[in-house]
Structure 1
Amino acid sequence: MNALTHTNHIECVVQNHDQLGETPLWCERTQKLWWVDIEQPRLQSFDPATGAHRVIEMPGTYLGSQALTVSGARMVAIDLELQLFDTETGTATPFAVVEHGVDNRLNDGRVDQRGRLWIGTMDNQLHRPNGSLYRVDPNGTVKKMAGDIIVSNGIAFSPDGTTLYFTDTRRYISWAFDLDLDDGAITNRRVFADYSATGDRPDGACIDVDGCLWTAFFAGGRIVRYRPDGAIDRQIALPVTNPTCLCFGGKELKTLYVTSATKFLTPEQRAAEPLAGSLFAIEGIGQGLPENRFG
């Protein structure tokens, strides 16, 4: 059951023109969906109860990703630095500089069950293996966990927290690692999904309650659900070419939110895709898990 399917349950909930919408997260405290536009750096929220869309302009060249924290501040990845950002006051506090002196930026990140942030860097020119995967501990320690990455992406954890999924979009491969929750070590790297023969671009990812991995395919116009053994059991077509990332949200975590991008679309494609760069919601296809918080 892996044929590409179309569903009428896809709703555009924020008709936006994000250049590179990314890293949607559901915050159970605010009951809102939060996401970023990386290249027009702004942090955004959507309140499904009221339909309100809030936009917070951010500093820097790139707002690579975001994470929830125990304190309630937002961990934001600005260029190559992590900052704690108060969404109410607009106050930013430097937390850690992940890399120095390389033409990279921070990209996808996610917090594990022990409150550690796993985040990757990527090559700004999209072809050099300059990037790495890092583990950032609550005490501010930054540890490089893997290298030789072009575009880090697709960080997600199995429901029990002992499997880490990670993607290099420009190598067209997703991997799985064993994660030791006690010491934060990763071992047993193995290929989970390989698109190197076709050039398909797996992007952001999330896990559902069944332990299945959902992945958005940039330039592929679809989202894919993998069983834990790597077999595809569902593919859903979207009304845009560039879905980027996804997460479950809503009070029962039964709404799948999907971000998208206008990046790389020609003027003709943009005219043909008025919903490119928007935020979508899909009902009735699964249930997610609460997002972990850093700290």
Structure 2
Amino acid sequence: MEINAEVREVLKPGFKLGEGALWDADRQLVWFVDIKRHLLWHFDPATGSNASAEAPGQIGWALPAEGGLLLCGLKDGLYTFDPAHQKFERLMAVPGEPAGNRLNDACSDPWGRVWLGSMDDAEEHASGNFYVFDKGEIRQAGPSGISITNGPAVSGSGDRIYFTDTVAKKILVADLSASGVGEARPFVDTSVDFPDAYPDGPIVDVEDHVWTGLYFGSHVARYSPDGKLVASVKLPARDITKMALGGADFRTAYVTTATKNLEPADAPKFPAAGNLLSFDSPVAGFATPKVKLG
């Protein structure tokens, strides 16, 4: 079912590779990144104020952490960012990661752990892995040997985690608990519903449904817990990367987009490409758990 939503362009930063939309419930604003321009952005919907901070490399994501900091994933590892002083500090590298890889997407879980993925920056080799950052340490956890990882995404209760293999057009799911993660199994093959698109960043809503951006697909799609397509929203951009559910009631969707793969001749067909989009969601999200740094 396609939802006929009124889509708004709330910010026009001209992303090259906009990603990582995330609602910060404490600060009541949206964080997002432009990976290829090394920028960490924020947008305050109450005032319209926005600004970007230049990261010391390609930045894939930012998550609220304890102590008023953000934990960020860059090409060469994890960094903290202090919004009060606009300062990045390197925390650690990801052990064993190839020099040609970078960090791409991540989420936190109810126990304050961070689940993250790496990928080949050239998008050629299946060198990407999934990891967990837990109590100040990083270890491999989840599927491996993936060219472009996206997600993970964790359910509100923390009982399920979703891993996206973008090039294979598949989303996997595994059981999750305080003690660890189970073996990943198939959840959905998005090519069945969107044959020309690639699943990008996923999130989970309060009804345990999974939303995914669709790169080359001009939509976000919503899948039921048993992997059935139940809704989609068409957007005026082609390359849809990630969605967040925010606002005071967690029912405002914020969506990042990209222009990296858009040819000049195609640009007029997608007038909102490279912008931060928004629409009213029929279902709410939930607050992102704060990352425990140590």
Shared fold by TM > 0.5? yes
Corresponding residue to 1:71 among 61, 67, 74: 67
Structure 2 equivalent of residue 168 of structure 1: 165
Q: For residue 68 of structure 2, what is the amino acid of its counterpart?
A: G
Structure 2 equivalent of residue 205 of structure 1: 202
Corresponding residue to 1:230 among 227, 245, 248: 227
Asked if the contact 2:129/2:140 (under 8 Å) is kept, the reply is: no
SS of residue in 2 equivalent to 1:71: helix
- C-alpha distance in 2, partners of 1:233/1:124? 33
- Measured against aligned partners, the alpha-carbon deviations of 1:84-127 in whole angstroms (never above 9, x if no partner) come to 11122122222120144431110110011111111000012213
Structure 2 equivalent of residue 256 of structure 1: 253
- C-alpha distance in 2, partners of 1:238/1:100? 35
Structure 2 equivalent of residue 86 of structure 1: 82
- C-alpha distance in 2, partners of 1:5/1:144? 35
Alpha carbons of structure 1 residues 249 and 196: separation in structure 2 relative to 1, 3 Å: closer
- Pairing of 1:3-152 with structure 2 (within 5 A): 4-7=2-5, 9-60=6-57, 62-98=58-94, 99-152=96-149
SS of residue in 2 equivalent to 1:170: coil
Asked if the contact 1:127/1:170 (under 8 Å) is kept, the reply is: no
SS of residue in 1 equivalent to 2:111: coil
2:188 is the counterpart of 1:193: yes
For structure 1, the 5+ residue unaligned runs are: none
SS of residue in 1 equivalent to 2:162: strand
Alpha carbons of structure 1 residues 200 and 284: separation in structure 2 relative to 1, 3 Å: closer
Asked if the contact 1:169/1:203 (under 8 Å) is kept, the reply is: yes
SS of residue in 2 equivalent to 1:39: helix
- C-alpha distance in 1, partners of 2:261/2:20? 19
Normalised TM-score (structure 1)? 0.93
Asked if the contact 1:20/1:37 (under 8 Å) is kept, the reply is: yes
Identity of aligned residues (%): 32
Alpha carbons of structure 1 residues 193 and 145: separation in structure 2 relative to 1, 3 Å: closer
CA-based RMSD: 1.6
Corresponding residue to 2:178 among 175, 178, 182: 182
How many Å apart are 1:196 and its aligned residue?
5.6
Which segment drifts farther, 237-246 or 143-152?
A: 143-152
Which segment drifts farther, 144-153 or 15-24?
A: 144-153
Q: For residue 4 of structure 2, what is the amino acid of its counterpart?
A: H
How many Å apart are 1:178 and its aligned residue?
0.8
Q: For residue 68 of structure 1, what is the amino acid of its counterpart?
A: P
Asked if the contact 1:45/1:53 (under 8 Å) is kept, the reply is: yes
- C-alpha distance in 1, partners of 2:222/2:257? 17
- C-alpha distance in 2, partners of 1:132/1:292? 23
For structure 2, the 5+ residue unaligned runs are: none
- C-alpha distance in 1, partners of 2:110/2:23? 16
